[in-house]
């Protein structure tokens, strides 16, 4: 059977794309962020995953408010990026893994998750930039399955629901008749708020407690409803739901292999974590 | 003004009320994913806003390039970011405008949270 070999969680700020395009990785502003990925890339070179399930939130590239799915899953043979309004260079297309997509769709539906399935899907910076941080040459050595969670329009799925989604993804991968090694990549957060008079809000104490909780007690965040998460992490910091989903897919026991946390990247407290499942 | 639907200071939760109120505005901002639409807005702002049926409050907020007014008119941060992109504004420009700080002051506030 297939197995999940690890989980990576990272921020996905759009300006990372600008920094990559301009080659600013060693610029003093950016270096503490980009250097955080060096141990993760070493781990990827050693473990060599075949496929990545990318848990992210769309920011108005593929989905508009006319149709806003809570949970959407890609089932396309390939996924491409497109202009998100800023004219940034676009990244190479990603090869989809339709077999795993449909296995996940079947298994998650059987566990009572009502998914929107997408045989065509544009993927935005929340998907493409973390991939480019993991594989800077942008020659993707993996196939992908996008899982998109609504954080645009409330009501959002609760933290408890996202935890369950992640657990179900973990079970689904484990039941997939394949010898592939699967990585789960969750993108977003950590604390930040772009809008309102509270713009620029960052909460280091909360981020630290959240990151500390993930290894041993991932259910910690489920004590908060969406309003409480926004209060503590900011209107966009609620993207930590992707981290929670990713962590839950790894099973009960994990080892935290790496962590980086840096304030600020743009208006965001940027975070990075790497976990491996343990028996 | 912009703190309705939320008891978190300086924060609007983008919920069903805001989503209904801001639909036309957000739909216009969504169209700015396309470079040709960004240019069409620049070429004739009135005609472009007219096409999307912005109400008077939304039209005024767009005219003023005022983010807090845009949020009060139902704008969503993710779509408004595309509008801001037309003017080459980054998130520190947006943050400075909303908090009444200079850009340098806003950046200093971010750094102080380390």
What CATH number should be reported for the domain holding residue A120?
Answer: 3.40.830.10
| Contact check, Cβ <8 Å, B12/A196 | yes
**Tens digits of residue pLDDT in A40-93:** 999 999 999 999 999 999 999 999 999 999 999 999 999 999 999 998 889 999
**Tally of domains in chain A:** 1
Distance CA A90, CA A212 (A): 35
Of A60, A196, A230, the CB nearest to B78: A60
Residue A262 annotated among the catalytic residues of the structure: no
- DSSP, collapsed to helix, strand or coil, labels residue A49 as coil
Q: How near does any CA of chain A get to the CA of B86, in Å?
A: 7
Task: Tell me what the pLDDT averaged over chain A comes to.
Answer: 97
- DSSP, collapsed to helix, strand or coil, labels residue A117 as strand
Range A204-222 average pLDDT: 98
Interface with chain B: mutation pick from A14, A57, A67, A85, highest number of B CBs within 10 Å: A85
Beta bridge partners of A122: A80
Residue A227 annotated among the catalytic residues of the structure: no
Residues in CB range of B25: below 8 A, 6 or more apart: B52, B54, B58, B61, B62, B70, B73, B74, B75, B79
**Tally of domains in chain B:** 1
* A and B: number of Cβ contacts within 8 A: 132
**Tens digits of residue pLDDT in A103-119:** 999 999 999 999 999 99
Please tell me which residue of chain A has the smallest CA distance to B35.
A85
Predicted confidence at residue A109, as pLDDT, reads: 98
| Chain B partners within 8 Å of A202 (Cβ) | 110, 113
Predicted confidence at residue B5, as pLDDT, reads: 54
| Chain B partners within 8 Å of A196 (Cβ) | 2-3, 10-12, 68, 71, 98
What CATH number should be reported for the domain holding residue B36?
Answer: 1.10.700.10
Catalytic position from the list A97, A103, A125, A262: A125
In a domain, B41, yes or no: yes
Q: How far apart are the first and last CA of chain A?
A: 16
**Structural domain of A239:** 3-277
Beta bridge partners of A51: A143, A182
Query: Token digits for A192?
Result: 């930040």
Residues in CB range of A191: below 8 A, 6 or more apart: A201, A202, A203, A204, A206, A207, A232, A233, A234, A237, A268, A269
In a domain, B79, yes or no: yes
Distance CA A7, CA A43 (A): 11
| Contact check, Cβ <8 Å, A86/B34 | no
Predicted confidence at residue A88, as pLDDT, reads: 87
Predicted confidence at residue B2, as pLDDT, reads: 41
Beta bridge partners of A218: none
In a domain, B6, yes or no: no
Q: Which of A154, A196, A151, A234 is nearest to B12 (CA)?
A: A196
Range B77-95 average pLDDT: 95
Of A86, A154, A193, the CB nearest to B85: A86
Q: State the pTM of this model.
A: 0.97
Residue A232 near residue A203, CB atoms below 8 Å: yes
User: At A269, phi and psi to the nearest 5?
Assistant: -80, 110
In a domain, B54, yes or no: yes
**Tens digits of residue pLDDT in A158-177:** 999 999 999 999 999 999 99
Query: Token digits for A174?
Result: 């484990």
| Contact check, Cβ <8 Å, B76/A153 | yes
Residue B4 has pLDDT above 90, yes or no: no
Residue A17 has pLDDT above 50, yes or no: yes
HSE at residue B57, side-chain half, CA atoms within 13 A, is: 14
Distance CA A211, CA A276 (A): 15
Range B53-60 average pLDDT: 98
Distance CA A206, CA A91 (A): 33
Distance CA A104, CA A148 (A): 13
Please tell me which residue of chain B has the smallest CA distance to A201.
B110
In a domain, B73, yes or no: yes
Distance CA A118, CA A140 (A): 21
**Structural domain of B76:** 16-87
| Contact check, Cβ <8 Å, A196/B13 | no
Q: A171: how many CB neighbours lie within 10 A of its CB?
A: 15
In a domain, B106, yes or no: no
């Amino acid at each position: 059977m297939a197995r999940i070999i690890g989980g990576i969680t990272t921020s996905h700020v759009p300006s990372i794309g600008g920094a990559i395009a301009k080659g600013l990785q060693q610029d003093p502003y950016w270096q503490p962020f980009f250097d955080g990925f060096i141990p993760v890339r070493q781990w990827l070179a050693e473990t060599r995953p075949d496929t990545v399930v990318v848990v992210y939130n769309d920011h108005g590239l593929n989905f508009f408010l006319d149709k806003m799915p809570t949970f959407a899953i890609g089932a396309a043979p390939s996924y491409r990026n497109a202009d998100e309004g800023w004219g940034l260079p676009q990244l190479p297309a990603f090869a989809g893994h339709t077999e795993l997509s449909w296995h996940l769709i079947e298994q998650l539906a059987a566990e009572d998750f009502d998914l929107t399935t997408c045989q065509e899907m544009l993927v935005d910076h929340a998907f493409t930039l973390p991939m480019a941080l993991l594989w800077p040459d942008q020659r993707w050595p993996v196939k992908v399955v996008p899982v998109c969670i609504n954080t645009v329009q409330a009501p959002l799925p609760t933290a408890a629901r996202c935890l369950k989604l992640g657990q179900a993804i973990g079970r689904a991968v484990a039941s997939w008749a394949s010898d592939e090694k699967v990585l789960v990549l969750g993108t977003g957060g950590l604390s930040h708020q772009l809008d309102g008079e509270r713009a620029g809000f960052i909460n280091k104490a909360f981020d630290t407690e959240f990151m500390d909780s993930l290894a041993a007690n991932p259910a910690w965040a489920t004590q908060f409803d969406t309003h409480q998460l926004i209060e503590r992490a900011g209107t966009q910091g609620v993207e930590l739901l992707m981290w929670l989903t990713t962590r839950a897919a790894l099973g009960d026991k994990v080892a935290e292999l790496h962590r980086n946390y840096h304030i600020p990247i743009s208006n965001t407290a940027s975070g990075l974590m790497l976990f491996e499942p343990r028996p | 003004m912009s703190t309705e639907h939320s008891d978190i200071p300086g924060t609007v939760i983008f919920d069903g009320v805001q989503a209904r109120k801001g639909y036309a505005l957000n739909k216009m901002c969504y169209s700015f994913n396309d470079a040709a639409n960004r240019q069409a807005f620049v070429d004739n702002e009135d005609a472009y806003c007219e096409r999307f049926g912005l109400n008077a409050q939304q039209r005024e907020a767009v005219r003023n390039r005022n983010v807090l007014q845009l949020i009060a008119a139902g704008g969503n941060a993710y779509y408004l970011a595309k509008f801001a992109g037309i003017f080459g504004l980054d998130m520190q420009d947006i943050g400075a405008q909303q908090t009444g700080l200079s850009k340098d002051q806003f950046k200093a506030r971010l750094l102080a949270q380390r």
